[in-house]
Chains A and B, each alone.
Chain A
Amino acid sequence: MSVTQHAEEIHDQFSDQLDVSVDEIEERLDTLVNEYRIPADEARRSVVSNYLDETDMERDDLGGGSNETVEVTTIDRDEQWVDLRVQVADLWEPRSESISQVGLLGDESGTIKFVAFETSDLPELTEGASYALGNVVTDEYDGDYSVKLNRTTSITELDEEIEVGDDNVNVEGALVDMQSGSGLIKRCPEEDCTRVLQNGRCSEHGEGDGEFDLRIKGVLDDGGEVHEVIFDKDATEQLTGIGLEEAKQMAMDALDTTVVADEMAEDIVGRYYRVTGPTLGRYVLANEMEQLGGVDAEATLIRARSM
């Protein structure tokens, strides 16, 4: 993108609040880029910050300008302003009161997590509906990307249906291990923080009461490959038959939360499962699962005899 294009975009973003010409903006950018040798993105950021100060605006208030419309799986940097054309693939239960909606947005390339905040006062998205979303911000946590909707985000429902690409993987094998941090866990109650407490402490927010949740981090191993799988609350209940309320009761009766993981391990370790779901970092998130039963020996027998 040229300095002029950047200048035009910035001009669009501030045209309502600030009487400044494209030329003036371009001159400021040009000074930074060509005299001070600052990368264009940084220069733009600096100029925008300056105008934000002048107009007493917050970065979140910035109007759309013209962002690039991107595919969700191409997002690989945080704090980028982008436009999306997506279908709401999944809505989850928000873990914090400050979050109005959280879930997955999908387009042909795959899916990405999104978060919308109460303070942004946006119309609610409907699961299964397709939208053009203008001006969302990318975010990164632990190498995984998501997008945040904000009060400047434009939401236009589309007549056409955006197809959601299948980035699901299918893994199967014996569940050979249930890792620590499985069973009845506590998550940090701070707003927008879902970290699991270790000994009652959040690595970010320190000591806290925490909110109970269920999760299993399991390892599926087929003798050739190893896959780490995360079962969320619903998937854990489906897998083990133990729901959150029952788990809390078990822990209360035993005065110990680890009884839950022990009981779950007894039910699932050593069994074969097939799990389907999207990948998140090195994990597969279990959306669907089934326990695998016996198999026909015939095909393998034929194979052996033909060798």
Chain B
Amino acid sequence: MSSIPTREVARRAFAHEYNDASYTFKESDDERAPVYALLPTGARANRVFVVGTLTETEDIGEDSEYWRGRIVDPTGTFFTYAGQYQPEAANALRDIEPPAYVAVVGKPRTYETDDGDVNVSVRPESISVVNAETRDRWVVETADRTLDRIEQFDAEENEYATMADEQYDPSLSVYKENAVEALQSLEAEEGEEPPEAGI
């Protein structure tokens, strides 16, 4: 809206694509410049918004509490870690009883494992319990955003698509299939729902 430094948008990506986003970069040499994860469908992500089912929480800390949560969407699992520097999110992971639908706002983080793989996780800014409707809306929205990115991939001057091409040589059809399957899973759920009980 104006020249005020804008807040980073929270990207929407399914777990499968998110976990493939292992390449991170900065756009300036400034130490405090934002770090972006590169989504394989061609977008930079400094923040993400994720809604899924929290299936498992575990305190994996040694000296102090360090919580890991697994959040499942129709395509895979997001991993989120919260310790003393994310006290509110850590409290949430300690308190929420899985399974529960949760919404997570957070930053992409990557780390390299001993065998050279790069794992992508979410460092949470907030974790809150939401309802099934919110989860369903997220799935449809995330499918739409994913399709948007795939549509824009070959557009001229799409620098992040060019970057994704170089870094990942991604198979876009896989991410499109993910979106289709995620949407189908919603439709299937609807069909399975029992009729409203009469009073």
Binary interface encoding of chain B residues 126-156 relative to chain A, with 1 for a CB under 8 A from any of its CBs, else 0: 1110101110111111111101101100000
User: Contact between B125 and A304 (Cβ–Cβ < 8 Å)?
Assistant: no
User: Contact between A294 and B187 (Cβ–Cβ < 8 Å)?
Assistant: no
Binary interface encoding of chain A residues 291-304 relative to chain B, with 1 for a CB under 8 A from any of its CBs, else 0: 01111111011011
B183 at the interface (CB under 8 A from A): yes
Query: What residues make up the interface of A, taking CB atoms closer than 8 Å to B?
Result: 174, 176-177, 219, 221-226, 228, 265-266, 269-272, 279, 281-282, 292-298, 300-301, 303-305, 307
Q: From the candidates B130, B150, B183, name the one contacting A270 in the complex (CB within 8 A).
A: B130
User: Contact between B144 and A300 (Cβ–Cβ < 8 Å)?
Assistant: yes
Q: From the candidates A266, A292, A304, name the one contacting B183 in the complex (CB within 8 A).
A: A304
B32 at the interface (CB under 8 A from A): no
How many B residues touch A, CB cutoff 8 Å?
A: 46
Q: 7 A–B contact pairs at CB < 8 A?
A: A174-B103, A177-B125, A222-B141, A224-B145, A293-B133, A300-B143, A301-B180
User: Contact between B176 and A292 (Cβ–Cβ < 8 Å)?
Assistant: no
Q: A10 → chain B, closest Cβ, in Å? A: 38
User: Contact between B151 and A270 (Cβ–Cβ < 8 Å)?
Assistant: no
User: Contact between A304 and B134 (Cβ–Cβ < 8 Å)?
Assistant: no
Q: B3 → chain A, closest Cβ, in Å? A: 10
Which residues of the other chain, B, contact A177 by a CB distance below 8 angstroms?
7, 105, 125-126
Q: Which of B111-129 contact A (CB under 8 A)?
A: 125-128
Which residues of the other chain, B, contact A304 by a CB distance below 8 angstroms?
143, 147, 176, 179-180, 183
B199 at the interface (CB under 8 A from A): no
B184 at the interface (CB under 8 A from A): yes
Q: From the candidates A266, A270, A292, A297, name the one contacting B139 in the complex (CB within 8 A).
A: A297
C-alpha spacing A297/B142, complex, angstroms: 11
C-alpha spacing A70/B45, complex, angstroms: 45
User: Contact between A294 and B136 (Cβ–Cβ < 8 Å)?
Assistant: yes
User: Contact between B9 and A269 (Cβ–Cβ < 8 Å)?
Assistant: no
Query: What residues make up the interface of B, taking CB atoms closer than 8 Å to A?
Result: 1-2, 4, 6-12, 47, 49, 51, 102-105, 125-128, 130, 132-134, 136-145, 147-148, 150-151, 176, 179-180, 183-184, 186-187
C-alpha spacing A296/B149, complex, angstroms: 21
User: Contact between B147 and A270 (Cβ–Cβ < 8 Å)?
Assistant: no
Q: From the candidates B1, B47, B130, name the one contacting A282 in the complex (CB within 8 A).
A: B1
C-alpha spacing A135/B148, complex, angstroms: 52
User: Contact between B136 and A269 (Cβ–Cβ < 8 Å)?
Assistant: no
User: Contact between B10 and A223 (Cβ–Cβ < 8 Å)?
Assistant: yes
B134, closest chain A residue (CB) = A271
C-alpha spacing A226/B4, complex, angstroms: 13
A305, closest chain B residue (CB) = B180
C-alpha spacing A269/B179, complex, angstroms: 25
C-alpha spacing A255/B3, complex, angstroms: 40
C-alpha spacing A282/B7, complex, angstroms: 12
User: Contact between A295 and B134 (Cβ–Cβ < 8 Å)?
Assistant: no
Q: A70 → chain B, closest Cβ, in Å? A: 23
User: Contact between B10 and A294 (Cβ–Cβ < 8 Å)?
Assistant: no
User: Contact between A300 and B140 (Cβ–Cβ < 8 Å)?
Assistant: yes
Most buried by B among A225, A292, A297: A297
- Given the known interface contacts A270-B134, A301-B187, A304-B180, the answer about A224 and B9 at a Cβ–Cβ threshold of 8 Å is yes
Q: From the candidates B125, B127, B133, B150, name the one contacting A307 in the complex (CB within 8 A).
A: B150
Q: From the candidates A272, A282, A298, A307, name the one contacting B134 in the complex (CB within 8 A).
A: A272
A272, closest chain B residue (CB) = B137
Which residues of the other chain, A, contact B179 by a CB distance below 8 angstroms?
300, 304
C-alpha spacing A298/B132, complex, angstroms: 17
Which residues of the other chain, A, contact B147 by a CB distance below 8 angstroms?
300, 303-304, 307
Q: B124 → chain A, closest Cβ, in Å? A: 11
Q: From the candidates B8, B12, B127, B137, name the one contacting A295 in the complex (CB within 8 A).
A: B137
C-alpha spacing A281/B176, complex, angstroms: 39
Q: A280 → chain B, closest Cβ, in Å? A: 11
User: Contact between A270 and B11 (Cβ–Cβ < 8 Å)?
Assistant: no
Which residues of the other chain, B, contact A301 by a CB distance below 8 angstroms?
180, 183-184, 187
User: Contact between A293 and B103 (Cβ–Cβ < 8 Å)?
Assistant: no
